[in-house]
Amino acid sequence: MQIDFAQAVTAEAKAQAAALARATAIKTDCRARILAVGSEATQMNIAQAGIVFTAAVLDGAPRTVALAASGLRDGDLTLAQGWKAWVAEMQTECRRAIESGENPVWPDLPKGVADLAARF
């Protein structure tokens, strides 16, 4: 009887599989945390509101009219920027944790962002 060593699972292969499983789990957690704040549809709705607001301003509408047309309120654009920055921080932390082998330390969600998402 011959042993087919090509079929053997090496320690390196086990380590690679474990690293892949860990990376997948961290990415899944990161995505779930982001989507817990706002679904993909919510994120698209906020982006669309920003586009409508910008188009109205570029067309010469007063800020109050542009806000009303877009469904945004005063301060929402700042919140949306904070959300975008938070998502980028989440993604950076995800990559850092995977590369370092350490547990992720997720950044706090900026105040007001969850309320913005709930409206959209």
What's the pLDDT tens digit per position in 29-64? 999 999 999 999 999 999 999 999 999 999 999 999
Length of the chain: 120
Residue 4 pLDDT:
66
Please report whether residue 93 resides in a domain: yes
Say if residues 84 and 110 touch (Cβ distance below 8 Å).
no
Residue 5 pLDDT:
65
Residue 1 pLDDT:
66
Please report whether residue 25 resides in a domain: yes
Please give the tally of structural domains in the chain.
Answer: 1
Please report whether residue 6 resides in a domain: no
* 6 confidence band (pLDDT: 50, 70, 90): low
Residue 12 pLDDT:
86
pTM of the model as a whole:
0.85
Residue 9 above 90 pLDDT?
no
Number of other residues whose CB lies within 10 A of the CB of residue 82 = 16
For residue 66, the enclosing domain spans 11-119
Please report whether residue 3 resides in a domain: no
Nearest Cα residue to 73 out of 44, 46, 39, 42: 46
What's the pLDDT tens digit per position in 56-101? 999 999 999 999 999 999 999 999 999 999 999 999 999 999 999 9
Residue 111 above 80 pLDDT?
yes
Please report whether residue 1 resides in a domain: no
Please report whether residue 2 resides in a domain: no
Residue 10 pLDDT:
81
